[in-house]
Every structure is written in structure tokens, then in C-alpha cells.
Amino acid sequence: MRLNLDKLYGKVRARAPLRLGLAGGGTDVSPYSDEFGGYVLNATIDKYAYATLSYSNNGVEFVAADIEARWQGPASSAIDAGKKLELHAGVYNRIVREFLDGKPIPVSLVTHSEAPPGSGLGSSSTMVVAMVQAFVEYLALPLGEYDIAKLAYEIERVDLNLAGGKQDQYAAAFGGFNFMEFYHDRVIVNPLRIKTDHRAELESSLVLFYTGVSRESANIIKEQTNNVVGRNDQAMAALQAVKAEAQKMKEAILQGDFENLAASLRSSWEAKKKMASTISNSGIDIIYNAAIESGAVAGKVSGAGGGGFMMFLVDPAKRPDVIRALNNFNGQVMTAVFVEQGAHSWRVI
């Protein structure tokens, strides 16, 4: 692709929404999704990853403002910015290689996220999508949602060799409630039309609790992958069960059937814990049991597991009781509003 690089000035901004994994998480991870197909139900919420991209007079600059990480150096077609800024360098290197014929451009790329890596809300992948979206705006690249999600996935999983699935990139790119199908050679995103009343009831019924950053996600995914490769009977049965519950939960949400939604969430969490030994732990179990005893009807960890955000389904009348119980633990109670718009960008100057 040929661009007039002499005209690349100004500043653009992009943001992409984080997501709640409602059901099917883990079935989007290779090799399971490649061999058996995966189903995931997720929804984006009003928490975002942001990226600002502008022309630089000082070579290339990467800044992750939320973790106070910065790198600056001469423009190059293959930048190594260190572990903390590997996502920034990964996006830049891929864009230069694939769309600029290897010719580097002097830019400043500044990011921040409303959730930390390891939160279980897909924050790392969402950040990659936000950065790709910023370059799409800055360079006027002809990429749609599927293209952006696929490119973000390849940057993170192939170029940088970071473990994980595919749902986060597609959730961030598309936005909204989606039932996603993952296969070896394709991904299908099915947007769900949720009635306004059902959406409002679900928002009123959800309580999020941040337990702290999970340090286990890479190990969890590695164990899950090994279980699939080794055909571990318990793990394989659990993945099949989680996949089936994603379909059931999709139907329950579309119909506004919160009783079956709660039942599906309970079954899905029990199955998910059998996919890998470190998905839950004693600390998570204690918090889960306290929430259930105080009135929550179901709950799960969002993301790979081991920590991060937990989500609970609660009778809205009992929200105060559940929140009081959760406040006894070292964490943070949060609410979430669902959003429909996926990654988008705009020119600032």
C-alpha cells in the first residue's frame, strides 16, 4: 500500500470497549476452537482502552500512561521497546511492515486503559484493537471490524506469541452483545438484539467485584491447552459443557429468562473450573460463597480466571446486601453499563 508519508501530521484518538465474558470463555482458544469449534457469548461495557496517535518530531515515542512506561528512539521498521511496551511496538512494527512497505514513520503513541492487564475484561487485547484503530484513522486504512480484529489477534498471538483466545479482539472491534463462533479458518460474529427492558434488568442485576490483577492467565491457558492436546477427559468434558451453556445463555438473554440465565451461569462456572486447576482458588471461592450467601443467585470470574473481575447475578432488591458482603474483602465493587459501539476513532487536529 502506497501512502504519501510527507502529509502525515495532526493527531487522532481511538477507543475500544472492554468486555464481560458471559459464557463460553476458553472455547475460543486454540487448539480447541480449531478442532471442535468454539462458542462465546460476551458484551461490551462502558470501560475503555484509549490510544492517541500523532506526528512526532523526535522519532518514535511510546507511552503507556496508566503504568508510567515510556520509550523513545529513532524511527525504525522493527522496534524493540521492552516488555512493558511490547504491545505498542508490536502494533507499530506490523503496521509499518504490512501497510507502509517497511518504511518507518515518526509518531507518538500514547495509551491508557480503564482496567489493568489481568483484569479479566480483555484489557490487553482491547488496547491492541484501540491502537490498530488509531492507525486506521491516521493512515486512512480501508479496514473493517473483521479486519481490525483479525489483525489485532495476529499481532498479539502470532507476532508477539502471547497466549490467549480470540474473543477479546472481536468484542472490542464490534461492540455490543455478540454470540461468536470460532473455527480453524474463520470467525463469525452474530450480533444479538437485546430488548431494552431485558438489557436494563441485566444491568440492574449485575454486580462486578475487582479482586486484583490475576497473575495466572498465561499458566491457565497453557494448562488448558495441554489438557486439550493430551485429551484430558475432565477438561474436554468441561469445555463441551461450557460451549453448550453459551448457547443456552444466549437463548435465555434473548428471551429475558433470568431464571434460566442464572442456572446457565451457575452450570457454566462449575464446568469452567474443571478446565484447568488454577481457574479458581480458595480466595475466589470464599468471595463467591459470601456473595451467594448474601443473595447473589450466580457468579463467575470474567476472563481466564485466577483473579481479576468477578461478576455476580443478583436480584436488584438484594444488591445492597451483596455489596455489603463484598465490601468485607480487599477489592472494589463496580457497576457496568452495556455499550453497543465497538472501536472507533476521530481526528483531533
- Residue in this structure with the C-alpha cell 442485576, named with its chain if needed: 205
Segment 60-63 long-range contacts (CB within 8 Å, at least 24 positions apart): 60/92, 60/104, 60/106, 60/107, 60/108, 60/109, 61/107, 61/108, 61/109, 61/110, 62/88, 62/89, 62/92, 62/109, 62/110, 63/108, 63/109, 63/110, 63/111
Give the relative orientation of helices 319-326 and 282-293 as an angle to the nearest 10 degrees: 150
Question: Is 168 an annotated catalytic residue?
Answer: yes
Give the relative orientation of helices 196-205 and 258-272 as an angle to the nearest 10 degrees: 50
Tell me, what amino acid is at 101?
Answer: D
Three-class secondary structure assignment of the chain: CCCCHHHCCCEEEEEEEEEEEEECCCCCCCCHHHHHCEEEEEEEEEEEEEEEEEECCCCEEEEEHHHCEEEEECCCCCCCCCHHHHHHHHHHHHHHHHHCCCCCCCEEEEEEECCCCCCCCCHHHHHHHHHHHHHHHHHCCCCCHHHHHHHHHHHHHHHCCCCCCCHHHHHHHHCCEEEEEECCCCEEEEECCCCHHHHHHHHHHEEEEECCCCCCHHHHHHHHHHHHHCCCHHHHHHHHHHHHHHHHHHHHHHHCCHHHHHHHHHHHHHHHCCCCCCCCCHHHHHHHHHHHHCCEEEEEECCCCCCCEEEEEECHHHHHHHHHHHCCCCCEEECCCECCCCCEEEECC
User: One of 28, 66, 147, 168 is an active-site residue; which one?
Assistant: 168
Which sequence positions are flagged as catalytic? 168
